[in-house]
Amino acid sequence: MTEKRLWLRNPRGVFTANDLDADGGVVVEGSSIVELVPAGQRPATGYDEGFEARDHVILPGLVNTHHHFYQTLTRVWAPVVNVPLFPWLVNLYPVWARLTPRDLELATTVALAELLLSGCTTAADHHYLFPGGMEDSIDIQVSVVRNLGMRALLTRGSMTLGEDDGGLPPRQTVQQAEVILADSKRLIQQHHERGHGARIQIGLAPCSPFSVTTDIMRDSAAMAAEHDVRLHTHLAETIDEEDFCRDMFGLRTVDYLESVGWLSPRTWLAHGVHFNDEEIARLGAAGVGIAHCPTSNMRLASGICRAVELEDAGAVVGLGVDGSASNDGSNLMLEARQALYVQRLRYGAEQATPERALGWATKGSARALGRDDVGEIAAGKQADLALFKTDDIRFSGSHDPVAALLLCGAERADRVMVGGQWRVVDGEIDGLDLPALIAEHSAAARRMVAGM
């Protein structure tokens, strides 16, 4: 972290995610942004060092709201390349049940490194797999986040409704409610940081209506309120899930959510594809967050999230790359591009703009995770910044530099700063041997599906 005042000066373009003018650059001191410089001016209170950003477009560090890091080990596994959600899950559960601590460490490092290289500085993960020997899963993830110098909201996921009880997951992947709740409390007490600049936060995340009991939904909501942490789950991803809720609980998904005490601004939901008008109004009035995951929704042919209407109704909309078995990449810039295009198909070109999609990937995602100290460029915010160059052939001849990031398909940041510290320089992560990581991760992935 720089103790000197660093001026990222005269950038080619800036997207602040608010109405502030930073066309003359951004001044960083310590872990924070201390000044935005208007076009043609110099920092009002001086600076110690300058970084020439003439070739860069500056964004707030992107924020990812939904992922399953462990799934980087099962990207593009042939038996599930061409199936929708339920058979996709049923085929993958036994493979995932083989997960080892080292596998998870490698998978988490790969997912976070890929996100970081795409300009992401804060990431949420939804980890719900705790087969025997994997009791320390979240602790492993905490150490990887710290090593990479990023921020994360790691959710303690859970599955309690096994196939013997009418759920989808096999018996060996579900846990007892008491075990889940005791571990959730331990993780909050051990790792959850509060307040401005937090690096590690813990949330509670029963997996989905078809893999958990209503008791664990209610108990998780109560524990989240008691400890003031966030709540996350998958909801309304597919019509299969809607049918499951009607058959199992006699309720539509949002009625189910309300019945277990989750219709609140503490909650953010992955996907949120299949809501009707009345449900959108209720979710908006409650200030629920939505992790829009466009690539995953297209990959599994789940449907198109009504993101613009949800946002207009008052819901908080962010973006998620989702787990790497249903994307299969972890590139948040490309996800923003997907969001722009798929929302244009639904709402037309005027409502789904590059600025709106970038707003979802930054400020919207930060709000969905309950944070107001990251996700935008303003004095007093954390100095989490992503700098993209536009000198690649794909940008040649482009005019609006901010819109070009999405429309020409920027995919790799040149520089990324987290809390005032450069973590990516010249497109490389400081201190990470990427070829060695890829080799070991790829070997682990082959082992995981061997004989399946």
Query: Minimum distance between the CB of residue 41 and Zn ion, rounded to whole angstroms?
Result: 45
Name the DSSP class of 386.
E
Map the footprint of Zn ion across residues 322-381, applying CB under 5 A. 322
For Cα atoms 188, 61, 436, give the angle at the middle one, nearest 5 degrees.
80
Instruction: State the binding string over 295-324 for Zn ion (x if CB under 5 A, else -).
Output: ---------------------------x--
Query: Minimum distance between the CB of residue 216 and Zn ion, rounded to whole angstroms?
Result: 17
Cβ neighbours for 8, distance < 8 A, ≥ 6 positions apart? 25, 26, 27, 28, 51, 53, 56, 58, 385, 387
Helix (H) or strand (E) segment spanning residue 271: strand 267-271
Phi, psi values for residue 133, rounded to 5°: 90, -10
Query: Minimum distance between the CB of residue 171 and Zn ion, rounded to whole angstroms?
Result: 22
Tokens of 417: 């700063």
Map the footprint of Zn ion across residues 225-244, applying CB under 5 A. none
Interacting stretch for Zn ion, rule CB under 5 A, among 222-230, 263-271, 415-423, 433-441? 263-271
Query: Minimum distance between the CB of residue 393 and Zn ion, rounded to whole angstroms?
Result: 34
Give the residue with the Cβ less far from Zn ion, 289 or 354: 289
DSSP letter for each residue of 340-383: HHHHHHHH-TTTS-HHHHHHIIIIIHHHHTT-SSSSS--TTSB-
Instruction: State the binding string over 268-297 for Zn ion (x if CB under 5 A, else -).
Output: --x---------------------------
Give the residue with the Cβ less far from Zn ion, 28 or 153: 153
Give the residue with the Cβ less far from Zn ion, 270 or 444: 270
Query: Minimum distance between the CB of residue 71 and Zn ion, rounded to whole angstroms?
Result: 8
Map the footprint of Zn ion across residues 144-203, applying CB under 5 A. none
Give the residue with the Cβ less far from Zn ion, 63 or 270: 270
CA dist list (Å): 255 to 111, 305, 307, 397, 403? 34, 18, 20, 51, 39
CA distance 120 to 130: 27
How many residues bind Zn ion (CB under 5 A)? The answer is: 2
Name the DSSP class of 168.
S
DSSP letter for each residue of 203-246: EEEE--TTTS-HHHHHHHHHHHHHHT--EEEEES--HHHHHHHH
Query: Minimum distance between the CB of residue 271 and Zn ion, rounded to whole angstroms?
Result: 7
Map the footprint of Zn ion across residues 56-75, applying CB under 5 A. none
Interacting stretch for Zn ion, rule CB under 5 A, among 139-147, 206-214, 265-273, 407-415? 265-273
Give the residue with the Cβ less far from Zn ion, 270 or 402: 270
Give the residue with the Cβ less far from Zn ion, 322 or 411: 322
**423-431, Cβ contacts within 8 angstroms, sequence gap of 24 or more:** 423/116, 423/121, 423/148, 423/149, 423/150, 424/116, 424/117, 427/117, 429/113, 429/116, 429/117, 429/148, 430/149
Give the residue with the Cβ less far from Zn ion, 296 or 390: 296
Phi, psi values for residue 56, rounded to 5°: -115, 150
Give the residue with the Cβ less far from Zn ion, 273 or 417: 273
Query: Minimum distance between the CB of residue 323 and Zn ion, rounded to whole angstroms?
Result: 5
Query: Minimum distance between the CB of residue 270 and Zn ion, rounded to whole angstroms?
Result: 5
Interacting stretch for Zn ion, rule CB under 5 A, among 176-184, 267-275, 310-318, 375-383? 267-275
**Under the rule (CB under 5 A), what is the footprint of Zn ion?**
270, 322
